[in-house]
Structure 1
Amino acid sequence: MPDLRVKALQLLTRRDHSRAELHKKLAPLAESEDALEAVLDALQAERLLSDSRFASQRASQRGSRYGNARLRQELRQQGVNDEDITEALDGAGEEVERCRQVWAKKYGRPPESAEERAKQLRFLQYRGFSGDSIRRVISGADE
């Protein structure tokens, strides 16, 4: 069990992990499921492991490039619960403004044709921005 704790601490010193992500990485090294859960519970009790902190950091890091839908999907895949995800996305900043920054960096000028408009819409959709945010940015660029 001490080896499992040491490995967990080594992983956590590099970056924050969600509980599910750390569980997945440590499972092959654990003697039993109970031992692994005990280590994870101890780390959570010591506040060394926190899904809400992981979600907040992840959203702030990747929020400058991606929309809320994409961030929500990534955090769910990492095993973060919906309550922590919502809290993290609230702290990531206004989605419309982030969308505007991503659009300005990539294109910086209004679409001149329907094809170009569709291309810009697809790009922002792929980045996970909501339809409302995309419409506000693209229509604001036309003005």
Structure 2
Amino acid sequence: MSFIIFIFSMLPIWYLAAYARPSGDDYGYSALTYAAWLETHSLAEVIKAAVETAKTSYIDWNGDWFTTFLFSLMPEVFKPYSFWVVPYIMTGAVILGTFVFMHEVCVRIMRLSHSNCLIFTSVIGACLQSSTGADSQPAL
């Protein structure tokens, strides 16, 4: 039941995904990959451009090369107005990752039932959802 409530609590976020648009850094990180896609329509060239973007960011700015690589492959590189898919991918990854972690802890280590695993996944998901809202303030 808790998992169903959690999924219903995600519906407004998934509904608003249709209005997601790239901004600031999204355009900067994807400039080379977008140009590579427009010029060649080759996935290999786009990957090369993403590697170059990550390399430049690593050397000139900071060390988060893998996330820079992923940022440079945003959906709008390949198709305009496709950024709406990002909230689905990100929330799905967080929910799946939380479920896998809780399955290991609850079912394999603590020998609890799968329903307990779903309950804990739902509670953690709800906590993550409420802590990342626009009105949340950083701790002082």
- TM-score grouping bracket, smaller chain normalisation: under 0.3
Normalised by the length of structure 2, the TM-score is: 0.24
Higher RCO (Cα < 8 Å, 6 or more apart): 2
Normalised by the length of structure 1, the TM-score is: 0.24
- Report the structure number with the largest CA radius of gyration: 1
